[in-house]
Structure 1
Amino acid sequence: MTTSSRNGLPLVRQFEGCKLAAYLCPAGVPTIGYGRTRGVKLGQKITQVQADTWVEQEYDEFEAAVRKLLRVPVSDNQLGALVSFAYNLGTGALAGSTLLRKLNAGDYKGAAAQFASWDKARVNGVLRALPGLTKRRAAEAALFLR
């Protein structure tokens, strides 16, 4: 594998935000740092250095998983946008998406347009567009097209 460019890391940091004390995310999962859920326990605290280390490690793990899904060449910015997307939604969501299907068919513009379709989350049982997700998907699409 080539070295990570980490072009999507600023988006991950910006949109995930960083909390040094564990909390329950909207889905009820204990979370800490920049959206880390693996092995997190409520009451846990970490340092900023630990949060920064974890986000870089997890970013690299997501990048490796995203690379395995790609069947076409992508730029560092396109890869960064896809990694930010997967970091937020999971690689399973990307793997089954129209976004990836279009990209792997060589339809880069069509793939970029698909980011906007992923701005919804279930709130009190109802699927709604969330402003934060709308902004994140627009930022990912902009990076993808850069």
Structure 2
Amino acid sequence: MQRKMIFDTVRRLLGRGFRRSEIAALDRAIDCAGGDSSAKGLTVSEAGVAIIKRFEGCARLRRDGMVEAYPDPGTGGHPWTIGWGATGSDIGPGTVWTQAQCDARLQQDIMRHAREVEIAVAGFPTSQAQFDALVSFHYNTGAIGRATLTRLHKNHEFSAAAGQFGRWNRAGGRVLEGLARRRREEAALYLSGS
């Protein structure tokens, strides 16, 4: 699709340049009409899975090969976590899983988070790298529906959206270097697809 030709034609019809909001709206309309570059149908790529695995880690591997739950590093307690960052009401002190259970839960959790990101950015231009970064962010924070970065992404303000990742670097009221590092890598991945 010749996006420039469409923009030039609409600009001539209006008799003026575009406002930022008009550019974003026209981009969305073109993307929806052409069926390209929206998040619909995207799945998390190997790069997306790799960033989640790198930062979640599969911690607390015991000598017997089993994996045990551990308290949240920010709070020292709830939510208890196991495997590749899995949390939930079924996980607490004393929870033990096999590596296969951890890997299966990772796949389920990634698919669930990817669906939630897809819904949050439905109809808005989203590259594979942006999608992967947003899923990693959501996997860790659960905040895709309320984060300012989602609104900025949907407004086609990709640079500003990337700047928002770094705001999510705290747990238990304090900055954690691991979270700060993760947010930097997510922002870099996000920008690589802008």
Superposition TM-score tier, normalisation by shorter sequence:
0.7 to 0.9
Deviates more, 1:96-105 or 1:81-90: 96-105
In the alignment, the residues of structure 2 paired with residue 121 and residue 40 of structure 1 have an alpha-carbon distance, to the nearest angstrom, of 19
After superposition, where does 1:49-88 map in structure 2 within 5 Å? 49-70=100-121, 71-88=123-140
1:5-24 matched pairs, under 5 angstroms? 5-6=44-45, 7-19=47-59, 20-24=67-71
Distance 2:102 2:149 in 1: 30
Q: CA deviation at 1:3?
A: 5.5
- Cα deviation for residue 81 of structure 1 reads 0.4
Residues of 2 paired with 1:134 and 1:23: CA distance? 21
Matched with 2:147 is 97
- Residue in 2 that maps onto 1:141: 187
Matched, 1:115 2:165: yes
Shift of 1:63: 0.3
After the TM superposition, which segments of 4 or more aligned residues of structure 1 sit over 3 Å from their partners? none
Spell out, residue by residue over 1:99-121, the C-alpha distance to the aligned partner (whole angstroms, 9 max, x if none): 11111111111111111111122
Segments of structure 2 that go 5 or more residues without pairing to the other structure are 1-39, 60-66
Paired residue for 1:47? 98
Deviations 1:11-45 (A, max 9, x none): 11111111311122233222211111121142222
TM-score by length of 1: 0.87
1:32 counterpart SS class: coil
- Structure 2 counterpart of 1:16, which letter? E
Aligned: 1:2 with 2:13: no
Q: Structure 1, unaligned stretches of length 5 or more?
A: none
TM-score by length of 2: 0.67
Indicate the RMSD between aligned Cα atoms, in angstroms. Answer: 1.6
Higher strand content, 1 or 2 = 1
SS across alignment from 2:171: strand
Identity %: 38
